[in-house]
Structure 1
Amino acid sequence: MSSLGDSVKLPCGLVFPNRLAKAAMAELLAGSGNAPTPSLLKVYDQWAKGNWGAVLTGNVQVDVNHLGSPFDPALSDEYTDPETNKGLLDTWSKYAEASQQHGTPSIVQVCHPGRQSLRFAGRRGIFASPIAPSAIPLDMGDGFFQRWMSWFVFPPPREMTQADIDLVTRQFVDTARLMADAGFSGIELHGAHGYLIDQFLNPKSNIRTDAYGGNAANRARFVLDIIRQTRAVVPPTFCIGIKLNSADYNSSSFEDTMTQIGLLNEAGIDFLEVSGGTYEDPKMWDPNHSQPQKPKSTTTATREAFFLEFASAVRTRYPSLILMLTGGFRTRAGANYALSQNACDVIGIGRPAAIDPAFADRLLDEGLGEDEAKLNLGRVKMPAWMGWIPLRAVGAGWESSYYTQQIQRIAKGLRTIVPV
């Protein structure tokens, strides 16, 4: 059995010195310029000291016109080469240096929100439509209020043309080139949580009848083109991973998802992160949502991993694929259990890292007993008035924003506050 302190070597040759990765979380520290700021660098300096096997950044958007939040870091201009875009490269190189100055590999989570771009986020204008594989708006509920709020916050998208697809593909590739030139160790394509890549992969949001829709393989073409074109322009040692949503075992999409994972594996991804949830169905963030695929065992260790069964199924189909499992880990025992089941190679830690930047040190310290190698996180209390808003995503968003606030406290040098 692998231990948390064992190293992991990816197919590209990159080595994670241990099996604990600080997972991607929203920082909202890019400011109005949507570029890495000194505050953002301070946070990553703290995580870099935390003895993580890898540090994954929060979303870096490939197009400043389409943002998930108003303060996401994003490419403000087309990246051509280091000489032409020296200022842009210098800015991002400082981010890479802060994230990796203590020897921990840093992986940039690269994203396009697609139809999940807030009306007031990005520079496209508040009346301009976001883009998506198909012109299907977000479904936040059947009631009048839910439909109105969905329209107000997330404008109905327009279907992407071939020119749009070509442009966004190039933006993903350009972003990857910039991150490689800046000195980061790799990228992770965000293909989960309902963002654009996930929208292409999912038959509920992709009803195209051209080469990008109609079956599982066609729906994967968009991301496969991004991977193929990126591989051609980055060093062979540069990591390319991807985050995907887990599928419901009872759904008809399970085999389609496995087919798509097989295609990604053949394309040469270095790792697959298993996660879950979307704005429409916030499994990952909603504290009141019963966790999907809950293991039959009721021990604490087995309950920690939200998506353990799905990861185990992927392992059975694709045993050589490096898997990262994220969602729910709070204890050394829970992390060790997931490794003991051969369900994954890397444990992704999110919210505990927003409270304690050196949480990995706590889990790796063999001098600490099991009762100390953990972090108990209570439910974040919502204001009473929020209970009147009939949107499940509101509670999930409040929970998520609490941990973003803790990240911002780290940036200010303040003590974080554990929810109890």
Structure 2
Amino acid sequence: MLVQQKITLPNGTVLENRLVKAAMAEDLAAPNDPNEQHLKLYSQWSHGGWGMILTGNVQVSDVYKGAPADITTATPLADPSSWSKWASTIQANGTPAVVQLCHPGRQSPPGSGNRSFFTKNIAPSPVKMNMGDSLMARAVTALLFGTPREMTTGDIHQVIEAFAEGAKRAFEAGFQGVELHAAHGYLLAQFLSPLSNLRTDEFGGTAAKRAELLIRILRRIRDVTSPTFILGVKSNSVDASSGSLADVMEQIKLTVDAGIDFLEISGGTYENPTMMAEGAAPAERAATHVPSRRTLERESFFLSFAQQVRSEFPKLILMVTGGFRTRLGMEAALASGGADLVGIARPAAVVPDLPTSVIMNEKVTDEEANLRLRPVRLGGWKGWLVDHSPVKSAGAGAQSIYYVGQLHRMGAGEKSVDSRLAA
């Protein structure tokens, strides 16, 4: 099987297979540091046979966080050993662990950071989010996120140093690398996009200038870590970046030239949450037969774009995340040349030892190596609110709430609920 093949990253790190536990928000930090729940959660993945494990969002700011219970690198550690314990737990069986560093920018909801209700979010330009066209959707968006404040040059330099300090903490704790979250509408993606970055200074106005913040962060991280430290970037596919294909390819070239070890292709934002979708159509989720070629081709949401990136950058290590549910789909993606690594998120919250128990288990047939998950629906008044919400991402948010709950079960030392078997 192709998924079982080893791969060597440019920095020399050898991954034992091509399956990567992709980032998922744990929502477990109280208030800012990794704790015993994180250790129990990641211990289950550390025994799962993954080629590499990515952490959930680790925020580089304590003023602006993506969620109240996100880990942050911007505060002194209550327990100085907490990060090294976290790193050693994940890597107990030799699997390299990579910390995903993030800044939400304009996507920081109230109560998610150390700031007052009246403190505005920050962004490259004062552009509001659009989570629906109705009056109600606009009102909800305004209440949750408001109009962000345009960042000053001083703000931008503070963000560069915050990412560098976050990477330094991960490096000193024993993690093998970091991934910069430049997708899903977070701050780095906001700078890359011409829709949210209207600046005309050194950080905006052209595709190259919109990538300047990301490039400077990459260089600073190299300054404070090591050439052998894994440095990855999570990037939007062209449809989610809201830029032209030529602009996106130019930005990727600059990123590659800065010396990254892998590029993860994902997509979606809070405004258009592709990354939270469920994958195949409901009628296909219950299928037990071998999927058709057409089904395999669309199993990965972002493989087509990754293949375009491959044609421009043949030596770049590409990780594709989103929609993979079957062994055959993963094998097809690797065989296509569009992916070197397969990122898997939600199925890992259902079957934490997915690589060894299912995908790479030769006793499991191709027909049985199927992780299609049943649609998740909230019951009662919560379900009614989701069904009738004017906010475009409400349904996707409900899906995320369910899977965060699975991570909480694992963090409490309990088994997750296999949603393939749920009624």
TM-score (norm 2): 0.92
Question: Paired residue for 1:139, among 130, 136, 143?
Answer: 130
| C-alpha distance in structure 2 between counterparts of 1:266 and 1:232, whole Å | 16
Aligned residue number for residue 307 of structure 1: 302
Structure 1 stretch 199-208 or stretch 400-409: which is displaced more? 400-409
Structural mapping, 1:205-354, within 5 Å: 205-248=196-239, 253-287=244-278, 299-354=294-349
| C-alpha distance in structure 2 between counterparts of 1:249 and 1:178, whole Å | 31
1:256 corresponds to which letter in structure 2? D
1:131 corresponds to which letter in structure 2? I
Preserved contact between residue 115 and residue 196 of structure 1 (Cα < 8 Å): yes
Preserved contact between residue 386 and residue 398 of structure 2 (Cα < 8 Å): no
Could you list the per-position Cα deviations for residues 222-241 of structure 1 after superposition, in whole angstroms to 9, with x for gaps in the alignment? 00000011111102110000
Q: Summarize the Cα distance change of 1:283–1:12 in structure 2 as closer, same or farther, 3 Å threshold.
A: same
Preserved contact between residue 192 and residue 241 of structure 2 (Cα < 8 Å): no
1:364 corresponds to which letter in structure 2? M
Name the count of aligned residue pairs.
405
Question: Paired residue for 2:170, among 161, 169, 179?
Answer: 179
Question: Paired residue for 1:379, among 369, 375, 379?
Answer: 375
Preserved contact between residue 119 and residue 127 of structure 1 (Cα < 8 Å): no
Q: Summarize the Cα distance change of 1:289–1:148 in structure 2 as closer, same or farther, 3 Å threshold.
A: farther
Alpha-carbon RMSD across the aligned residues, in angstroms, is: 1.8
* 1:363 positional shift: 0.5
**2:21 matched to 1:22?**
yes
Preserved contact between residue 308 and residue 343 of structure 1 (Cα < 8 Å): yes
Aligned residue number for residue 8 of structure 1: 7
Structure 1 stretch 123-132 or stretch 183-192: which is displaced more? 123-132
Could you list the per-position Cα deviations for residues 227-279 of structure 1 after superposition, in whole angstroms to 9, with x for gaps in the alignment? 01111110211000000010139975211001000110111110000000000
Preserved contact between residue 119 and residue 155 of structure 1 (Cα < 8 Å): no
Preserved contact between residue 351 and residue 418 of structure 2 (Cα < 8 Å): no
* 1:64 positional shift: 1.0
Could you list the per-position Cα deviations for residues 123-151 of structure 1 after superposition, in whole angstroms to 9, with x for gaps in the alignment? 01221011110011111122211111001
TM-score (norm 1): 0.93
| C-alpha distance in structure 1 between counterparts of 2:81 and 2:263, whole Å | 30
* 1:372 positional shift: 2.1
Preserved contact between residue 22 and residue 343 of structure 2 (Cα < 8 Å): yes
| C-alpha distance in structure 2 between counterparts of 1:284 and 1:109, whole Å | 16
Runs (5+) with no aligned partner, structure 2: 282-291
1:42 corresponds to which letter in structure 2? K
Aligned residue number for residue 363 of structure 2: 367
Question: Paired residue for 1:54, among 34, 42, 52?
Answer: 52
| C-alpha distance in structure 2 between counterparts of 1:250 and 1:100, whole Å | 33
1:95 corresponds to which letter in structure 2? W
Could you list the per-position Cα deviations for residues 331-350 of structure 1 after superposition, in whole angstroms to 9, with x for gaps in the alignment? 11000000110111100001
